[in-house]
Amino acid sequence: MRCAMAVAASLRLCFSSLSSSSGHRHRLPSALYLTAAYRRNAKAAHDAFHAPDWKCSRRGMVAASGADAAGSSGVIKIAAISGSLRRASFHAGMIRAAIEIAKENIPDVEIEVLKIGDLPFVNTDLEVDGRFPEVVERFRAKVLQADSILFACPEYNYSMSAVFKNSIDWASRAPNVWAEKPAAIMSAGGNFGGGRSSYHLRQSGVFCDLRFINKPEVFVRAFEPPAKFDADGNLIDSATKDRIKDLLFSLRSWTLRLKSCS
Ligand SMILES: Cc1cc2nc3c(=O)[nH]c(=O)nc-3n(C[C@H](O)[C@H](O)[C@H](O)COP(=O)(O)O)c2cc1C
């Protein structure tokens, strides 16, 4: 009984401190609402979160029009990075599929591919008078201009590929251009579908202040039937395309939500 009273008292304390802090009070109803919705029905929670876009207001998280939250152009610019240099790369193929999916289904999203194969290995000796090599400057500028990032992250020996990590490291040099970027990951590989590399990327993203969506997770078991890719690395599996579509919608929502709060 005493324990229950203590919990009730601490909850009251918690609620009163939230009420006295105007910066946080408004978040409580949405957080409770989402938690309850997840318990009731995962699909309902997904719809509640993704159907409208959200913006911060004194009344809490409220629906926003896409154009309103995305800025005057109303276009969300996504920079896509593949961590494989292979000609018939599955990851490059997934990015091509994402571009097609966005064109057909999400008119306010534009995806631009950022190349990383010509970046030199990170070496801080190459930073001269506060400038990076030209190719690095260009890459960093593209990251900075993007509204959000779509990573296609291969798994090499249970982690990210070296060329991919190199790009993460260059853009993290001060000023860190990953900071506060909304981001999503898709991976293809063996039995875990590249999941381990994706989690390593999330770990690096903590220090880089990347803001990843948590779900959906797109881990493609590339070597199991049915075939997911053709000989040129084009994605041919409709179920995987549907998952990438969900990923893009989720990234779009998250981008609008973070933009409206910044
Ligand atoms: C050096 C190397 C290490 C790899 N290690 C793994 C691994 O740990 N786990 C895995 O699922 N696949 C591994 N693979 C297989 C890759 O996931 C597979 O080649 C994949 O197609 C790479 O992506 P890409 O098609 O975009 O090049 C490895 C491939 C290479 C070249």
CA distances from 22 to 14, 16, 19, 27 (A): 14, 11, 7, 10
Could you list the beta-strand ranges (E) of the chain. Answer: 53-57, 60-64, 76-82, 109-113, 148-152, 155-156, 159-160, 182-189, 211-212, 218-221
User: Which of 40, 164, 27, 34 shows the shortest CA–CA distance to 95?
Assistant: 164
CA of 188 to the centre of ligand 1 (A): 8
Which residues have C-beta within 8 Å of that of residue 27, sequence separation ≥ 6? 60, 61
CA of 82 to the centre of ligand 1 (A): 13
**pLDDT at 166 exceeding the cut of 70:** yes
Q: How many domains does the chain have?
A: 2
> Same domain for 143 and 43?
no
Nearest alpha carbon, ligand 1 atom 17: 189
Q: Using an 8 Å Cβ cutoff, are 50 and 215 in contact? A: no
Nearest alpha carbon, ligand 1 atom 14: 156
**Which numbered atom of ligand 1 lies nearest the CA of 189?**
17
CA distance 80 to 236: 19
Quote the tokens at residue 217.
């997770």
> Same domain for 256 and 216?
yes
CA distance 45 to 132: 45
pLDDT in tens, 140-159: 999 999 999 999 999 999 99
State pTM to two decimals. Answer: 0.80
> Same domain for 37 and 126?
no
> Same domain for 163 and 94?
yes
Q: Using an 8 Å Cβ cutoff, are 110 and 102 in contact? A: yes
> Same domain for 19 and 116?
no
**Which numbered atom of ligand 1 lies nearest the CA of 152?**
26
Q: How confident is residue 72, by pLDDT bands cut at 50, 70 and 90? A: low
pLDDT of residue 37: 34
> Same domain for 19 and 80?
no
Q: Which pairs count as long-range contacts for 131-139, CB under 8 Å and 24+ apart, including other chains?
A: 132/170, 132/173, 136/170, 139/114, 139/115, 139/167, 139/170, 139/171
Q: How confident is residue 23, by pLDDT bands cut at 50, 70 and 90? A: very low
* Residue 114 DSSP symbol: P
pLDDT of residue 262: 76
> Same domain for 18 and 95?
no
CA of 63 to the centre of ligand 1 (A): 41
CA distance 242 to 154: 20
CA distance 216 to 248: 9
Q: Does a structural domain hold residue 61?
A: no
Q: Using an 8 Å Cβ cutoff, are 77 and 110 in contact? A: yes
- Structural domain including 27 reads 2-51
Residue to substitute in 84, 89, 157 for testing ligand 1 pocket (most ligand atoms within 8 angstroms of CB)? 157
Quick one: 40 exposed, middle or buried, by C-beta within 10 A (0-12, 13-18, 19+)? exposed
Quote the tokens at residue 170.
């260059």
pLDDT in tens, 204-240: 999 999 999 999 999 999 999 999 999 999 999 999 9
Q: Using an 8 Å Cβ cutoff, are 215 and 244 in contact? A: no
Query: What CATH number did the domain enclosing 84 receive?
Result: 3.40.50.360
Q: Does a structural domain hold residue 62?
A: no
pLDDT of residue 8: 43
> Same domain for 96 and 47?
no
Q: How many CB atoms lie within 10 A of CB 73?
A: 10
Residue to substitute in 85, 113, 156, 164 for testing ligand 1 pocket (most ligand atoms within 8 angstroms of CB)? 156
Tell me the mean pLDDT in the region 246-253: 98
> Same domain for 160 and 105?
yes
